Chains A and B, each alone.
Chain A
Amino acid sequence: MFANRKKSRLSSRRLSWLAPLCFLAGLWSILAFGFEIRPFQGDEVTGNNVLALWQFQPGAELVDSKGEATLELCGRSLVTTDSTFGGALECFEFIPGVDKPNGARADRKTAPVIDGAFSIEAWVKLKETPDNPDWNVGYIVDKMYVPNTHERGYLNKDYHFSLRHHKGAKKVSLRAGIGLGAEVINFTSEQVEYAPGVWRLMAFYYNGAGTGMFFVDGRLVGKQTHEGKGAAAAGIQPLMLGERCGSIHSGLPGYLAQVRIVKGLPSQIKLINLDLQHPFQRNVFERLEEGHTLQLRVSNLAEQKITNLALTIHDGLTSREERIGDLPPNSEPVLLSLPLRCDGKVGDYTCRVDARGVNADGQAVTGGAVFDYKLCRRLPEFMPVVMWGGGSIDQLLSTGFTHGLHWLDHLDYAAWEAGEPLGYRERYHETRQSLNQVMAAGLRALGKMSPGAYFKSQPEYAKVREDYLCHDRQGKPTRMVNFSLPRVQQFAFDAARTMANSLKMYPVIDIVLTDSEFRDGSRLSFRAEDIAALRTATGLTEVPAAIEGKGGVKYARLPDFPASRIIPEDHPILVYYRWLWGGGDGYPGFLTQAWKGLNAKGTAPWKVVWDPVVRCPSKWGSGGAVDLIGHWTYVYPDPLVMGLAADEVLAMCKGGPSYQEPTKMTQIIWYRSGTTGPLPEDKSTWNEWEKRLPDAKFITIPPDMLEIALWQKLSRAVKAVMYHGSGSLWDKGKPGGYDFTHPGTQPRLAELTRKVIKPFGPMLLKVPERKANIAMLESFASQMFYGGTTHGTMANPVGRMHAALARAHLQPEIIYDETILRDGLDQFTVLVMPMCAVLSADVAVRIQAWQAKGGVIVADEMLAPGITPDVLLPQLQDNDKDKIIACSKKLRQELDGVCQPLAEADTADAVLRVRSFGTSDYLFAFNDKRTYGDYVGQYRKVMEKGLPLSAQIRINRPQGTVYDLLAGKAVATKAADGSLAFAADFGPGEGRIYLVTEQPLARVQVTAPAEVARGKRGVIEIKVLDAAGQPVDAVVPLQIQGSDPEGQPLEIVGWYAAVAGKLSVPIDIAPNDAVGAWKVQVRELASGLEAADGFNVR
């Protein structure tokens, strides 16, 4: 705060927490204690202590209504009318090229003479759009000219009072100076919110003896003492309002409504100044959060001792007294930590502190402060629906998103410079404000930081980056950063931990995305460090000469390549690429360091996500040690690409740490270049969006494709569904960037989140993947020696084969070479090997051994000659849907009797997938019947328009009850040949979830405790039972409703899942909850069975 502050009771670090004053909290605390936005009145105008007062009233615009210092307007300044104060002086900041001063001037002979203690106070309103937004200093009052000690003594006199603009932080600080004759002593306040368009009362008080204090709206915002100093000396300069006298560079970009110079203290302040804040600027909490305290600062503003100082603290639920004793004048503030109660019921609360004491004259002095805060309900477990992009709270809520993106790249460069993690920083002030709002809205935040991407691209790193680049074979630096270097990896940790240190106290940040997409920059590097690392890890002493790039070599160009195309495990090229993509390029390690910085034990309660994780060859570990890995997918030309990429993420997850989980993202944007063609010359044929946005580069995914994509995500055991491209989801009202071209997409997504994701999300989180009996190998060795890396797309035959398998209602698990080496193939009966042109020896041996035991190999013409296929299907060379369907039929025909799918349909347009829990199956079915529409279909690149579909679906299990979860009822089935068959009609793009249980659901049982005391926990026990009274062997979706005696919904209302037919739901009764009869109703969503119970709260 002040540079020469005396040692206080708190450590300097704790004091730094007090610095970021929350504007809202501060404003509320002041307003609650009688502060008013009003003209000076009564003694404030007429008192003997008033030396000068300018009010800018009509008819007396420039008059000093107390003294004789009539003003004269300068430059562009003028007196305007104001609805609050009647009139105001409009002032102007400096604009380069305009060399005339602005403001208003009073002659030095009429300006007030200062003696002893005095205050300058002014109502100030800064302009919302100043002519020069980069303004630096704006003077309120000046009668000094040179604001620092000058060799000419006559300049070191009188006073000045100004604002300094901290543009980056969007704050201002108050500054003042007192000329003592021989020197000038200066004072600076802490930084306060830059609040343009708002009238604020700004005041500086000088006690005539070295101590200065600043007030904003009656609240102390800074105090500093220059020991042994005296009163201001009278000078010879004129007095200027809104400008520095003798200068043209320091005009105030705003209005001055009333300006007062008085003897003694300014108006509207309490002599006992209380400042009550949360140390990390939180004012929204979840119920029963623990460990929160408020910081209370008690200052004596009187110039005399205050005795018998006592506080009354109302914590929102109870009151208590605390005695301080005596508080001498000019003493350091008393700092207290007050526990913040979060055990109340959901609602708005006020923590209030009243102070009272007695001054030396025996008069009562008082002060007070309040802290308003909100307690939110704790959210039941839910499926995250993440907007990986911007969006207002209203937009997010109305579409059903649970998370919005918050940019957290604030301090990475500072962390780089420091070479170690930084502590708590104020710079996240605005972020903290928005995080409070997000929690209050019942949302969660996806934080985003990109230290790696910034390091490789931001100009401020340009110089240091030169030392950390990849080198080419000749030793010449390239443009790409080498992320394997220790100093660079340390930076990942430092930047991440720095961010955590400033925001870890915000559990509303649920997930942090770090360095999305940055591994695209991976390159070969030949630095000595790289070669040393390679040698240590592999024994190779050099990078094989045949290797020119990260994407692999062509086996056909390699001399003496084995005719079997089965290569030894220690083939140098294979060894090198395994090392490179296994982390030798440094990117996974960088992510791991960032994860450690963000999520190491005791740091922050966040999960860390990275994407796109399969935009690389099929090698485990692409995401390092992060908690969540994901991948985004453009859902065209064939929407089944979503299923491919999702299965690839699942495959990547299998090689990650045990806690690593999959997510999946849909791109709301479509590349126009990939989905349309040149606009027709005849403009009359253009459709609506083409006429409106002829230059659009990114357009909106149409609704049917969006829905088809979602069903594929939900049919996999992902832990979050994500979306990117908010500009194409919500109309931003202007062209450019991501354009909004389809008004039907957002409503469809909103409907899907409401009908599907929210009610069934908890269930989906609990149902695991079904063990597959067919595997599709994405061979790393083949990718490195031949090709076939999908990058999560259907750009080559590998992805198309996956689509054919899906359309055949086979359900492949994607496996890597590593899967075979670690887990073998015994789980599978069929191994599909698209583009598996080259295999490593150990992989080949395992495949051959498995095949010898009866395993069936499906391959294409490029299969390594050392492996003998059982089924051959030519590579699919394009994404023609008819060809893929033909391939799927061939697959079914060839594998008939070998690999029976659990579920199948009579049409390849009904795409199915099954997950299982216990003896229950979850059949996901969606309609992929499409045609060319008039949105982009006229270009014949994408069939984007869904069509209705009727299908016969068969589940190959002899018995069971089938429930259509979205309809909430059982489906009539026909049992024959060991299967259950039923008919299903689908709308365009529509999907369903069918739950198949061994036994029918017979009833729901809810048991609540008879009585729960306020402040205690009760547990609601829920069971979904079969006819024999046994919990069903399924994860059953439930809805819980209920209310307290006042009709308020219970905190626990929402969507749940009864795992193995059972669910326990704790309910924490708040001390201020209503006593009486509480009701709980439960409905299972498979068939609509309901049950209810109640309990008494005392």
Chain B
Amino acid sequence: MLNRCVGMMLGAAMLLASSMTPSALAAESAQLQELRGKLATSTGLPRRQAARQILALGAEANDVVLSLLADQDLVVRRNAHRNLRARFGDQALAYYEKGLQDAEAMVRIVVVEDLIAWQPRTEQVVALLQKATKDSDNEVRKLAADAFWDFHRDYLTLRKRPQWDHNIEVKQQQELPTTGWRFMTDPGRNGHVEKWFAPDFDDSAWHAATIGKWWHEALPDTVGHYEGVAWYRFDFTAPPAPDYEYNEAVLHFHAVDESTWVWVNGQYAGELDIGTAGWNVPFDIEIGSFLNWGGKNKIAVRVLNAAGAGGIYKPVEFQVLK
């Protein structure tokens, strides 16, 4: 602990010394000088508090703030990145690319958040955000990807509601056939732009596929160990509408490897997007709101496989819940 703190102090002092000219030092206010001193000599919370107070100072602190972008203390570094837009205006973009390479996701998230809020969204901003969509950390990736994603539904399924204090009864269930699905990879990740989810989309050129297997097992010759986005489409004949009280009709996915987005009859129904950790997580997508009860329904499922095997490799059930 002691060694780490001493190291941080030395590092900060060296950074400050290398970045300041004599005239700049002379122009420093007494407050900044005092804070720089604290920054150099203190550890832990007092040091962070000094850094925070520096961030509140005006342009005189610009150089110090830039030095803080490389501070060894994650909190100081993150707070300094958060300070860039307000301090440097449009020039802040110049520091973001490096910020996206920070070792800590908590720093990279700050950069992505600021990029998302950036107006106008210039090509440079878009490029940085797109870069972030490939981030190794799922939260960073998801945050960046969300900036390009127009499909949202705020709906918490019954099984996920912490306040739902009743036993959930499956009143009706029907496993979807494993065969009869259509499948296509989407390496350009623009299937949603081309409306591959639309009911009238022509998928005749797609592959016939099965679910219940990873796609490298279901389509070994055409897909193999594909990593990226792919789509499934299926014609689902729904049962007649229940004549009893129920709370929710869902597609219950026993698991999809890894992230999943679902449309029903062209309408966005929901997703499970928790990154690679989602590969074996069962989940529900509420579809009753969009369903043509007793008739044909077009189900479209977009799957992102970021690593290893991918696809709808476990059963999918239609369930009516009470």
Binding site for B on A (CB under 8 A): 517, 520, 548-549, 551, 553-554, 556-557, 561, 563, 612, 615, 671, 673, 697-698, 790-791, 793, 795-796, 851, 854, 856, 861, 865, 868-872, 874, 893-898
Contact = CB atoms under 8 A, between A and B. Distances in A.
Contacts of B154: 548-549, 551, 553-554
Nearest to B154: A554
Contacts of A557: 152
Contacts of A872: 74-75, 78, 106
Contact of B49 (A793, A870, A893, A895): A870
Contacts of B168: 673
Interface band, chain B = 20 to 34
12 contacts: A556-B116, A563-B85, A563-B113, A861-B139, A865-B82, A869-B79, A870-B49, A872-B75, A872-B106, A874-B106, A895-B45, A896-B44
Contact of A898 (B45, B82, B105, B152): B45
B63 interface: no
Given A671-B167, A861-B109, A871 B162 contact: no
B123 interface: no
B309 to A, nearest CB: 23
Contact of B45 (A561, A563, A856): A856
B26 interface: no
B16 interface: no
Given A553-B154, A554-B154, A865-B82, A894 B44 contact: yes
Given A870-B75, A872-B106, A673 B82 contact: no
B143 to A, nearest CB: 9
Given A861-B106, A872-B78, A520 B139 contact: no
A554 B167 CA distance: 29
A795 B165 contact: no
Contact of A520 (B78, B152, B163): B163
B103 interface: no
A897 B117 CA distance: 37
A862 to B, nearest CB: 9
B90 interface: no
Contacts of A871: 45, 48, 75
A724 to B, nearest CB: 11
B70 interface: no
Contacts of A517: 165
A894 B46 CA distance: 11
A825 to B, nearest CB: 16
B152 A870 contact: no
Contacts of B82: 865, 868
A554 B114 contact: no
Given A563-B114, A851-B52, A872-B75, 12 more contacts: A548-B154, A553-B154, A554-B152, A671-B167, A790-B162, A791-B163, A861-B109, A868-B79, A870-B52, A894-B44, A895-B45, A898-B45
A698 B106 contact: no
B55 interface: yes
Nearest to B168: A673
B119 to A, nearest CB: 8
A1056 B114 CA distance: 61
B175 interface: no
Contacts of A861: 105-106, 109, 139
Which of A612, A854, A865, A868: most chain B CB closer than 10 A?
A868
Contacts of A895: 45
Contacts of B165: 517, 520, 612, 615
Which of A673, A851, A870: most chain B CB closer than 10 A?
A870
Q: What are the nearest 8 A-B pairs in CB distance?
A: A795-B162, A563-B117, A791-B163, A793-B162, A791-B162, A872-B75, A615-B163, A868-B52
Contacts of B28: none
Nearest to B106: A861
A790 B163 CA distance: 9
A615 B161 CA distance: 11
Contacts of A865: 82, 110, 113-114
Interface string B206-230: 0000000000000000000000000
A671 B139 CA distance: 31
B300 to A, nearest CB: 22
Interface in B115-166: 116-117, 139, 146, 152, 154, 156, 162-163, 165
A856 B156 CA distance: 34
Nearest to A671: B167
Nearest to A667: B165
A549 B162 CA distance: 17
Nearest to B73: A872
A697 B167 contact: yes
Contacts of A520: 163, 165
Nearest to A830: B45
A756 B156 CA distance: 42
B163 A673 contact: no
Contacts of A874: 106
Which of B49, B114, B146: most chain A CB closer than 10 A?
B49
Contacts of A854: 49
